[in-house]
């Protein structure tokens, strides 16, 4: 399996890759020379795609050069050169790769002798990795997601590249933009967890990070391009089926037992291709159905006698049973189960494609792609509504009906027309459209969402998921692009344009069910019983931790709808200059212009309000003002040098500006959060300012204002975009080298450095200046007089640019092809990504989730959550000739990597800025710099002295904490332990003739985390038991100032003593998938 992958990568490392938006093909170019190495002009050059009969013809130019841009990828091709008075030269078995320039120079002779053409690998390192359909079919995978294959790129972590947000990648299929442009997720299909297109339909997949092609746009991470298969002159078909269930899953993860529950996965598909008119018109069609039913959560409630570890939570089964019965009996609300229930994911993928050879100079391709998918999803962990952190750890467990289901349906159609205008010029034209539906559905009637805390963090949750009421999202993009190429002596010129018309309609009504947060289960029972005694009461005896409610502010409007229209146009020019046969330079310039439609809502009330920016200056905003239309200029330069002229030492380096489209949800937030469409109330209770006037009520709109007129709401939040906001841009520079070492070992190394020109960050302009600070070693600033400049505004988050971020990455590989049956590759990479903030999708969550220790509007530069760290991987594949009837293939992929990053933060709002649990801890030099308070939990009392001793021991056993004493913890400063896993694939092929046609039957087993199958202690990850070991308990006056006081977290009724816990999830045990496939001719 990996044999083929390694082989193609060895080849492609020589390649100067330039696939991008609108690039679906490859290029063949070279020179025709006589025996004296003089150029031959006017020679006829013909390339014939043997499977389909597709022909490409041209003549050599004055300098002997010829070019075939826009060639169909794959092969084999037969290339012939003929000229009067010279013997014809033919080269067979030529293959074209996506976006690559394959160079072949031909020497023709006046003697009647057929000369073998001289092959010169004209492409260069530092470009891209291309994976063909054979590689896709052999790499170990059970999900068939795109990220299973992009892990072959050293700088990748799944679909994340060089530490960049995967929403800033550009994905194309057959030249059509296929991104999740709205930006809720990074890749299409990611929201429902399915592949957006059947990988069986993919001819080639390519990934480029640092490219010279100015056609490539809309990314600051990586460009991922896929080209689908086409029909040929032979009728072919495949039928395949894959399955797995709980019997094929491991049950031991180190010392923990793992119960995978009962599940089933089934995937089946069929494809067929062939000619409609031989040599002229071809078709390809495929259908694939996937269904996956599995346990929703493997976390379980505690029976009261168990230790909270592995998948056993601290949440007591008795508490959950009693609460479920109470809600059903008194309010008629069905919570659903809290464990032992299933989630379901289903997908239907269809593809249909026509290829039409009008003549030797004009080729048409029409492709339609169809995805219907749905998936059950967990309740959000965000604290933008409620208290967050509701599931996915041993601390909390939510009920089934607090989850939701999601559809992700995609329709995409693209037409491509490739034309050879003359022997010196070609043209490539695209037009297409895609449509996405990503709407939600709740499993029960609306009911207030309630977070119940214990020891300062969420314990359990019931009610409607906070962000799902009336949630419906659709969006679409119309695309047109044209590329014109002109070939001159020593110069290949490119000019083109692209236009995208984006529109979205988003019904986003979070908090419409009303949100309550209680400090304890007892508090909820007391408040709910108060309602049962007196439903019309206006106050409660319980001090509510938090209340939030969003309501429609337009009379008669059930749900708000925010519409966004964006026109995005680009112009570009490029010159590929062959300075000498061994040295080339590429100059390019791209100019993009985004234009936003006037779909915002003007709130004249908000325009009068004064806010405060990150510099302390007074600012005002117009809620209907979307970003200005500012040209985005992207120059690029690349130099390529074949140092010895024989392809054994290749150097490439360059620098350029890359422009990406922001997730459009960040702009759409402004259209929906303006104080006109909706009103929003956010009230917090504390000991100093108790909240008694929002008693619990099962009526979701109980606290909607009586008089709604459409005027600005009484209370609301704002999401704004700086009028000067510009699309993300980075300056990316790279240098790469490739050496052919002794024994034909290929070494490759690349260094990439990115500098943010237009990064993205959020500030809360409704946050006043801090008015106080703590005293002592931890002297951070505080907000003690409130965290709102304007009391009617809960928060006002502004999306802005920043230019302080940067990243760097070094990658190296060694590859060796020993025989036709064995390949091996080993690679290493290390990288760091530094920024001010990792941007999410909800404006307030992005700001409030950003850990800091000072002014949250002026965070320090720190490591991104996507910062990759170390990665070591190896791949190998071997074909055994065990049986004459078919090959036996064993493939392996080893991956060792840092499993992520974390931040040590305090549980609670330490600095009073209104955001919960985002304050980085201060790491004391000794216990004298800490102030603990005695507390009792679960009947156990912990003294100040016990906590001081335990905290000191905890610091000393934690590598990060003990190295940074006397400092504030850094955002994402904790590097989680390395994970090492091996995936393998074993397949057996059986060949036989049926009616004169070769048929191939394949049986295959994919084993993920094979390491765990070998030893229960291998392939198992580790994570922090908690990143909040300290809970804020209050303050204490000392020496004329105030210091914070804490309690040290207890785990299993003992003070925390270890940082890490071994995880026991599905990824920590082995998984086996069995497959069968039948390939046959018709």
Quick: pLDDT tens for 455-506: 888 999 999 999 999 999 999 999 999 999 998 888 889 999 999 999 999 9
239: β partners: 270, 1078
Place of tokens 């962990």: 381
What pLDDT is stored for residue 818 in this prediction?
66
Place of tokens 């039913």: 293
What pLDDT is stored for residue 608 in this prediction?
95
More confident position, 642 or 828:
828
Q: Which of 82-96, 114-128, 801-815 has the lowest mean pLDDT?
A: 114-128
Answer yes or no: is pLDDT of 604 > 90. Answer: yes
Kindly indicate the confidence band of residue 931, based on its pLDDT and cuts at 50, 70 and 90. very high
Closest-CA residue to 510 (of 700, 301, 234, 227): 700
Mean pLDDT of 353-367: 93
Answer yes or no: is pLDDT of 649 > 70. Answer: yes
More confident position, 93 or 546:
546
Answer yes or no: is pLDDT of 6 > 80. Answer: no
How many Å apart are CA 375 and CA 542, to the nearest integer? Answer: 38
How does DSSP classify residue 400?
Answer: G
Kindly indicate the confidence band of residue 350, based on its pLDDT and cuts at 50, 70 and 90. very high
How does DSSP classify residue 1045?
Answer: E
What pLDDT is stored for residue 916 in this prediction?
85
What pLDDT is stored for residue 83 in this prediction?
63
Place of tokens 């955002």: 971
Pairing of β 678-684 and β 746-764: unpaired
How does DSSP classify residue 181?
Answer: T
1045 φ/ψ angles, rounded to the nearest 5 degrees: -115, 150
What pLDDT is stored for residue 127 in this prediction?
53
Kindly indicate the confidence band of residue 1082, based on its pLDDT and cuts at 50, 70 and 90. low
What pLDDT is stored for residue 343 in this prediction?
95
Cβ neighbours of residue 666 under 8 Å, at least 6 residues apart? 183, 721, 760, 799, 839, 841, 843
Mean pLDDT of 531-558: 94
Q: Which of 50-64, 542-556, 663-677, 743-757 has the lowest mean pLDDT?
A: 50-64
What pLDDT is stored for residue 9 in this prediction?
30
Mean pLDDT of 598-602: 94
Kindly indicate the confidence band of residue 5, based on its pLDDT and cuts at 50, 70 and 90. very low
How many Å apart are CA 588 and CA 591, to the nearest integer? Answer: 10
Kindly indicate the confidence band of residue 341, based on its pLDDT and cuts at 50, 70 and 90. very high
What pLDDT is stored for residue 65 in this prediction?
80
Mean pLDDT of 135-160: 87
How many Å apart are CA 305 and CA 1055, to the nearest integer? Answer: 18
Domains and CATH numbers, the chain: 18-122 (2.60.40.1120), 767-796+839-858+899-976+1022-1062 (no CATH)
Kindly indicate the confidence band of residue 61, based on its pLDDT and cuts at 50, 70 and 90. confident
Answer yes or no: is pLDDT of 792 > 60. Answer: yes
Q: How many residues comprise the chain?
A: 1082
More confident position, 100 or 607:
607
Concatenated DSSP letters of 568-593: EEEEEEEEEEEEETTEEEEEEEEEEE
Answer yes or no: is pLDDT of 7 > 90. Answer: no
Condensed to tens digits (0 to 9), the pLDDT of residues 890-900 reads 999 999 999 99
Answer yes or no: is pLDDT of 408 > 80. Answer: yes
Answer yes or no: is pLDDT of 1046 > 70. Answer: yes
What pLDDT is stored for residue 48 in this prediction?
81
What pLDDT is stored for residue 119 in this prediction?
23
Q: Tell me whether residue 400 is exposed, middle or buried, using C-beta atoms within 10 angstroms of its C-beta: 0 to 12, 13 to 18, 19 or more.
A: buried
Condensed to tens digits (0 to 9), the pLDDT of residues 222-251 reads 999 888 999 999 999 999 999 999 999 999
Answer yes or no: is pLDDT of 23 > 70. Answer: no
* Two structure tokens written together for 245: 């269930």
Answer yes or no: is pLDDT of 62 > 70. Answer: no
How does DSSP classify residue 248?
Answer: G
What pLDDT is stored for residue 274 in this prediction?
95
How many Å apart are CA 691 and CA 546, to the nearest integer? Answer: 8
844 φ/ψ angles, rounded to the nearest 5 degrees: -65, -40
Mean pLDDT of the chain: 89
Number of C-beta neighbours around residue 1038 at 10 A: 11
Closest-CA residue to 293 (of 339, 215, 345): 345
How many Å apart are CA 895 and CA 173, to the nearest integer? Answer: 28
Cis omega (within 30 of 0) on the bond before 49? no
What pLDDT is stored for residue 243 in this prediction?
97
Q: Which of 36-50, 673-687, 847-861, 865-879 has the lowest mean pLDDT?
A: 36-50
Pairing of β 515-518 and β 449-454: parallel
* Two structure tokens written together for 992: 């036989």
Kindly indicate the confidence band of residue 113, based on its pLDDT and cuts at 50, 70 and 90. very low
How many Å apart are CA 421 and CA 401, to the nearest integer? Answer: 62
Residue 272, sorted as left (phi over 0), alpha (psi -120 to 50) or beta, turns out to be beta
Mean pLDDT of 269-285: 95
* Two structure tokens written together for 816: 């060796």
What pLDDT is stored for residue 857 in this prediction?
97
Kindly indicate the confidence band of residue 114, based on its pLDDT and cuts at 50, 70 and 90. very low
How many Å apart are CA 73 and CA 435, to the nearest integer? Answer: 27
Q: Which of 20-34, 298-312, 619-633, 661-675 has the lowest mean pLDDT?
A: 20-34
More confident position, 969 or 994:
969
Mean pLDDT of 764-786: 95
Answer yes or no: is pLDDT of 109 > 80. Answer: no
* pTM of structure: 0.86
Condensed to tens digits (0 to 9), the pLDDT of residues 613-647 reads 999 999 999 999 999 999 999 999 999 998 988 88
What pLDDT is stored for residue 31 in this prediction?
82
Mean pLDDT of 523-542: 96
């Amino acid at each position: 399996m990996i044999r083929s992958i390694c082989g193609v990568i060895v080849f492609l490392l020589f390649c100067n890759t330039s696939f991008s938006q609108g690039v679906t093909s490859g290029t063949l170019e070279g020179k025709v020379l006589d025996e004296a190495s003089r150029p031959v002009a006017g020679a006829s050059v013909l390339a014939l795609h043997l499977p389909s009969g597709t022909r490409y013809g041209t003549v050599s130019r004055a300098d002997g050069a010829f070019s075939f841009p826009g060639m169909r990828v794959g092969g084999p091709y037969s290339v012939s050169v003929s000229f009067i008075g010279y013997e014809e030269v033919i080269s067979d078995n030529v293959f074209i790769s996506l976006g690559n320039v394959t160079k072949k120079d031909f020497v023709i002779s006046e003697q009647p002798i057929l000369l073998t053409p001289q092959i010169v690998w004209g492409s260069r390192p530092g470009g891209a990795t291309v994976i063909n359909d054979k590689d896709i079919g052999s790499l170990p995978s059970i999900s068939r997601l795109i990220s299973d294959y992009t892990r072959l790129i050293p700088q990748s972590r799944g679909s994340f590249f060089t530490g960049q947000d995967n929403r800033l990648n550009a994905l194309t299929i057959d030249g059509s933009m296929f991104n999740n442009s709205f930006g809720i997720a990074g890749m299409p299909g990611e929201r429902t967890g399915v592949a957006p297109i059947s990988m069986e339909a993919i001819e080639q997949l390519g990934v480029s990070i640092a490219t010279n092609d100015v056609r490539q746009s809309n990314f600051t991470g990586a460009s991922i391009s896929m080209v689908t298969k086409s029909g040929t002159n032979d009728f072919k078909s495949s039928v395949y089926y894959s399955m797995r269930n709980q019997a094929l899953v491991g049950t031991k993860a180190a010392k923990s037992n793992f119960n995978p529950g009962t599940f089933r996965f089934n995937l089946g598909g069929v494809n067929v291709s062939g000619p409609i008119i031989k040599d002229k018109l071809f078709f390809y069609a495929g259908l694939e159905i996937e269904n996956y039913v599995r346990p929703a959560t493997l976390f379980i409630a505690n029976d009261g006698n168990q230790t909270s570890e592995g998948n056993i939570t601290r949440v007591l089964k008795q508490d959950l049973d009693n609460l479920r019965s109470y809600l059903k009996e008194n309010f008629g609300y069905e919570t659903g189960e809290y464990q032992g229930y299933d989630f379901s994911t289903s997908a239907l993928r269809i593809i249909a494609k026509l290829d039409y050879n009008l003549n030797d100079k004009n080729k048409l391709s029409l492709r339609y792609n169809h995805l219907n998918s749905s998936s059950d999803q967990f309740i959000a962990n965000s604290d933008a509504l409620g208290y967050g952190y509701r599931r996915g750890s041993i601390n909390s467990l939510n009920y089934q009906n607090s989850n939701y289901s999601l559809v992700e349906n995609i329709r995409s159609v693209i037409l491509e027309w490739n034309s050879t205008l003359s022997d010196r010029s070609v043209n490539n034209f695209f037009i297409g459209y895609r449509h996405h539906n990503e709407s939600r559905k709740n499993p029960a009637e609306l009911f207030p969402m309630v977070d119940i805390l214990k020891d300062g963090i969420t314990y359990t949750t019931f009610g409607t998921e906070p962000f799902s009421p009336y949630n419906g999202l659709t969006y679409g993009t119309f695309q047109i692009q044209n590329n014109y190429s002109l070939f001159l002596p020593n110069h290949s010129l490119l000019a083109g344009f692209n236009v995208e018309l984006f529109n979205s309609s988003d019904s986003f009504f979070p908090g419409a069910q009303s949100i309550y947060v209680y400090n304890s289960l007892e508090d909820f029972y007391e408040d709910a019983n108060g309602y049962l005694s007196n439903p019309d009461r206006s106050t409660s005896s319980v001090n509510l931790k938090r209340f939030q409610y969003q309501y429609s502010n337009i009379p008669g409007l059930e749900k708000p709808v925010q519409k966004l229209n964006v026109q995005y146009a680009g112009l570009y020019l490029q010159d590929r200059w062959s300075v000498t046969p061994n040295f080339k330079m590429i100059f390019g310039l791209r100019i993009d212009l985004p234009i936003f439609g006037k779909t915002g809502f003007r709130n004249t009330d908000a325009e009068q309000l004064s806010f405060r920016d990150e510099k302390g200056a007074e600012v005002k905003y117009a809620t209907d003002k979307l970003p200005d239309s500012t040209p985005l200029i992207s120059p690029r330069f690349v130099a390529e040098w074949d140092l010895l002229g024989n392809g054994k030492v290749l150097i490439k380096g360059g620098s350029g500006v890359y422009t990406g489209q922001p997730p459009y949800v960040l702009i759409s937030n402004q259209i929906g959060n303006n104080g006109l469409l909706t009103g929003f109330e956010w009230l917090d209770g504390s000991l100093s300012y108790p909240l008694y006037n929002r008693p619990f009520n099962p009526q979701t709109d109980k606290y909607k204002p009586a008089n709604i007129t459409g005027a600005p709401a009484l209370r609301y939040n704002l999401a704004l975009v700086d009028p000067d906001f510009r699309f993300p841009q980075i300056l990316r520079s790279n240098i790469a080298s490739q050496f052919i070492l002794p024994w034909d070992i290929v070494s490759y190394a690349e260094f990439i450095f990115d500098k943010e020109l237009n990064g993205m960050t959020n500030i809360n302009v409704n946050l006043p200046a801090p008015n106080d600070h703590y005293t002592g070693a931890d002297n951070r600033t505080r907000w003690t007089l409130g965290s709102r400049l304007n009391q009617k505004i809960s928060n006002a988050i502004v999306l802005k640019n920043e230019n302080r971020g940067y990243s760097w990455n070094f990658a190296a590989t060694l590859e060796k092809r020993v025989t036709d049956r064995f390949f091996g590759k080993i690679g290493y990479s290390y990288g760091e990504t530094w920024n001010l903030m990792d941007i999410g999708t909800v404006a307030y969550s992005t700001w409030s989730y950003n850990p800091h220790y000072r002014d949250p509007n002026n965070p320090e530069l720190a490591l991104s959550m996507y910062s990759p760290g170390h990665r070591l991987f190896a791949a190998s594949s071997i074909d055994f000739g065990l049986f004459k009837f078919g090959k036996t293939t064993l493939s392996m992929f080893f991956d060792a990597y840092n499993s992520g990053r974390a931040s040590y933060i305090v549980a609670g709002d330490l600095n009073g800025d209104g955001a919960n649990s985002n304050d980085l801890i201060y790491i004391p030099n000794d216990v004298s710099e800490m102030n603990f308070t005695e507390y009792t939990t679960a009947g156990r009392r912990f003294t100040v002295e016990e906590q001081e001793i335990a905290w000191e021991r905890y610091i000393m056993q934690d590598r990060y904490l003990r190295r940074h004493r006397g400092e504030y913890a850094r955002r994402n400063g904790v590097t989680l332990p390395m994970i090492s896993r091996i995936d393998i694939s074993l397949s057996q092929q059986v060949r036989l003739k049926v009616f004169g046609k070769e048929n191939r039957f394949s049986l295959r087993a994919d084993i993920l985390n094979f390491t765990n199958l070998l030893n229960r202690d291998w392939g198992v990850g580790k994570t922090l038991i908690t990143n909040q070991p300290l809970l804020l308990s209050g303050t204490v006056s000392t020496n004329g100032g105030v210091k914070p006081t804490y309690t040290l977290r207890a785990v299993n009724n003992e003070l925390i003593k270890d940082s890490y816990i071994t995880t026991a999830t599905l990824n920590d045990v082995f998984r086996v998938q069995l497959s069968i496939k039948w390939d046959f001719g018709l």
